[in-house]
């Protein structure tokens, strides 16, 4: 008997007792439905968690050069007249180029900072205002806070010659928010001043105005380096010190976690909140496993239903089995025929359960946002996500359950003595 014929026979045998096959597969439907709903909910929740975490900055990580005590010189240990830490492993321009190629990296923002006590002024229209160079605090705009948004122009600065102002700075110069657009493209003088009175000017073009109310400016990276060189009276602080910090934006929270581990392995100090992500993912995993177990138990119970149906079917068809054996069917063929029959009951139950679970998820995905809007919760997106792996896995598992359930009854059918089977009434 060819395998094709065995499948055809098994299918027609499933079809000949439709009600009974349907009832037998009902258990599988319930089990599969449970698994699909629970696991797709878990997948949806995982996506939600990742999205929420990304919104509060968990998709970003800050790379710092690895430290190595303080630069020696004079004064008590740990004191450094310049207030800069000596560095074990510095972040070079080559590192930046290399990181840009890493999978999952979507943005790299290098930072070069001036010491906090550096006097910085902005001169514009004849007035001077003291400002701070933004980005001096490594956590700014990194965690729990979305990056500042532009109220005029763009906050993306060119490699050199660009400046962005906070609206606090603009207001200090007496510019009302209506006139912000007029400021874009104008040149301002940024003055660096030492306590001994030395000063150095940089003329930079305004690119944008941010929503921030503090008096901050952002300056193109090349100009920052120039400022730092001037301050430390050096020509190549970048070569000696590298970048002060680099913020990397990853494609998603999971990528951020991987990148963190990789860059730490390379010897950099990396700050990220991957612990939170890991904990949340662990919780979701535990919940997923629990839910899957519940569905799995339902499926195990379903095996009893299928096995019972198969035992009944074999009892009823004992005489047919005898006839088939007399016609030259082997024990293996009889066994495969009944196992396939049980497998199909599992498969059909699995497909129906998957479809029902998928439809239920689609429906709930429509209903939940309505509720969330009503409660004014800022959560968007789907809560039930049926992945391909889930769909395939659950159908394979349901079929497997059917085969397992059919094994012992089929074995019994295969071992029937043809003579006794033929005498069966």
Partner 1 sequence: MNDALIHASKLTRRYQMGKAVVAALSGVEFTVLAGEFTALVGPSGSGKSTLLNLIGGLDRPSGGEIHVNGLSLGTANELELVRYRRERVGFVFQSFNLLPMLNARENVEAPLMLAEIPPRARRERATALLESVGLAPRMLHKPNELSGGEKQRVAIARALANRPLLLLADEPTGNLDSKTGGAVLDLLCGLHEAQGLTMIMVTHDPEIAARASRIIHLRDGTIQHIETTRTAKKIP
Residues in touch with partner 1 (CB under 8 A): 1-2, 5, 9, 12-13, 16, 319-320, 322-331, 333, 418-419, 422
Nearer to partner 1, 26 or 323 (CB): 323
H/E stretch holding 164 reads strand 162-166
Nearer to partner 1, 48 or 411 (CB): 411
Place of tokens 């008590």: 76
Nearer to partner 1, 13 or 257 (CB): 13
Give min distance, CB of 416 to partner 1, in A: 12
Distance separating alpha carbons of residues 59 and 21, to the nearest angstrom = 50
**Radius of gyration for the chain, computed over Cα atoms and rounded to the nearest angstrom:** 35
| Collapsed DSSP state (helix, strand, coil) of residue 147 | coil
Give min distance, CB of 330 to partner 1, in A: 4
Strand-pair category, 105-111 with 85-89: unpaired
Give min distance, CB of 309 to partner 1, in A: 16
Nearer to partner 1, 262 or 330 (CB): 330
Give min distance, CB of 324 to partner 1, in A: 7
- Give one DSSP letter per residue of 265-328, joined into a string: HTT-EEE--HHHHHHHHHHHHHHHHHHHHHHHHHHHHHHHHHHHHHHHHHHHTHHHHHHHHHTT
Nearer to partner 1, 119 or 332 (CB): 332
Give min distance, CB of 403 to partner 1, in A: 22
Distance separating alpha carbons of residues 205 and 207, to the nearest angstrom = 6
Nearer to partner 1, 121 or 320 (CB): 320
Answer positive or negative: Cα dihedral of 97, 102, 105, 106: positive
Residue 95: count other Cβ atoms within 10 Å of its Cβ.
Answer: 21
Nearer to partner 1, 297 or 326 (CB): 326
Strand-pair category, 269-271 with 199-210: unpaired
Among residues 103, 131, 124, the alpha carbon closest in space to that of 182 is found at 124
Give min distance, CB of 11 to partner 1, in A: 12
Nearer to partner 1, 134 or 322 (CB): 322
Give min distance, CB of 1 to partner 1, in A: 5
Give min distance, CB of 16 to partner 1, in A: 5
Residue 71: count other Cβ atoms within 10 Å of its Cβ.
Answer: 14
Nearer to partner 1, 137 or 417 (CB): 417
Give min distance, CB of 422 to partner 1, in A: 7
Q: How many CA atoms lie within 13 A of 106 on its CB side?
A: 9
Give min distance, CB of 342 to partner 1, in A: 18
Distance separating alpha carbons of residues 219 and 216, to the nearest angstrom = 10
Structure tokens at 17: 């007792």
Nearer to partner 1, 46 or 325 (CB): 325
Structure tokens at 302: 């379903």
Confirm if 238 and 182 have CB atoms less than 8 A apart: no
Q: In three state form, how does the secondary structure of 255-283 look?
A: HHHHHHHHHHHCCCEEECCHHHHHHHHHH
């Amino acid at each position: 008997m060819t395998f094709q014929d065995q499948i055809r026979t098994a299918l027609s045998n499933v079809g000949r007792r439709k009600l009974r096959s349907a009832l037998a597969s009902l258990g599988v439907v319930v089990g599969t439905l449970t698994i699909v709903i629970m696991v797709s909910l878990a997948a949806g929740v995982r996506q939600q968690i990742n999205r929420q975490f990304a919104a509060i900055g968990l998709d970003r990580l800050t790379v710092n050069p690895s430290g190595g005590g303080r630069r020696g010189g004079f004064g008590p240990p740990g004191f450094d007249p310049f207030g800069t830490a000596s560095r074990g492993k510095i972040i070079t321009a080559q590192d930046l180029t290399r990181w840009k190629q890493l999978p999952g990296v979507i943005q790299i923002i290098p930072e070069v900072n001036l010491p906090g006590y550096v006097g910085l002024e902005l001169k514009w229209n004849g007035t001077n205002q003291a400002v701070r160079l933004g980005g001096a605090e490594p956590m700014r705009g990194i965690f729990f806070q979305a990056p500042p948004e532009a109220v005029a122009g763009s906050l993306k600065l060119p490699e050199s010659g660009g400046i962005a102002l906070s609206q606090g700075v603009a207001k200090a110069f007496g510019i009302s928010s209506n006139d912000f657009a007029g400021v874009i493209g104008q040149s301002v003088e940024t003055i660096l001043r030492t306590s001994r009175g030395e000063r150095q000017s940089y003329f930079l073009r305004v690119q944008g105005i941010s929503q921030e109310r503090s008096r901050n400016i952002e300056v193109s990276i090349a100009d920052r380096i120039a400022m730092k060189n001037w301050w430390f009276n050096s020509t190549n602080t970048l070569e000696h010190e590298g970048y002060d910090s680099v913020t990397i934006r990853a494609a998603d929270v999971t990528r951020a976690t991987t990148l963190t581990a990789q860059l730490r392995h390379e010897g950099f100090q990396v700050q990220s909140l991957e612990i939170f992500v890991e904990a949340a993912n662990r919780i979701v995993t535990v919940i997923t496993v629990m839910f899957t177990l519940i569905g799995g138990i339902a499926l195990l119970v379903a095996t009893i239903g299928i096995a019972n149906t198969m035992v009944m079917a074999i009892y009823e068809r004992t005489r047919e089995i005898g006839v088939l054996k007399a016609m030259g069917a082997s024990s293996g063929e009889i066994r495969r025929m009944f196992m396939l029959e049980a497998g199909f009951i599992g498969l059909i139950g699995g497909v129906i359960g998957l479809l029902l679970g998928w439809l239920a998820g689609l429906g709930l995905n429509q209903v939940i946002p309505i509720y969330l809007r009503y409660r004014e919760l800022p959560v968007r997106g789907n809560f039930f996500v049926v992945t391909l792996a889930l769909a395939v896995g659950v159908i394979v598992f349901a079929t497997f359950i059917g085969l397992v359930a059919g094994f012992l009854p089929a074995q019994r059918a295969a071992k029937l003595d043809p003579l006794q089977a033929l005498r069966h009434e």
